[in-house]
């Protein structure tokens, strides 16, 4: 992951039990040009279905800043 050099958006739900938020945080720390978006409250692994507005807003914000 340390070799990734492009803008990268990493998502996690605050209640994701498949890829824990701590694992997403670790990925974020290893990818130098990454943004971590933690969706709340009580959002699991299927973030695009559980919180579509937050998901879309995070993508739009990320794209505006690259």
Q: Show me where the domains of the chain are located.
A: 8-64
Supply the pTM of this predicted model: 0.90
Tens-binned pLDDT, residue by residue, of the chain (66 aa): 999 999 999 999 999 999 999 999 999 999 999 999 999 999 999 999 999 999 999 999 999 999
Burial of 59 (0-12, 13-18, 19+ CB in 10 A): middle
Residue-level pLDDT at 5: 94
Distance CA 49, CA 4 (A): 28
């Amino acid at each position: 992951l340390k070799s990734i050099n492009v803008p990268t958006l990493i998502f996690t739900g605050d209640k994701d039990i498949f890829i824990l938020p701590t694992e997403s945080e670790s990925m974020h720390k290893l990818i130098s040009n990454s943004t971590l978006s933690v969706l709340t409250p009580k959002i699991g692994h299927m973030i695009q279905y559980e919180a579509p507005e937050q998901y879309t807003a995070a993508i739009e914000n990320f794209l505006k800043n690259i």
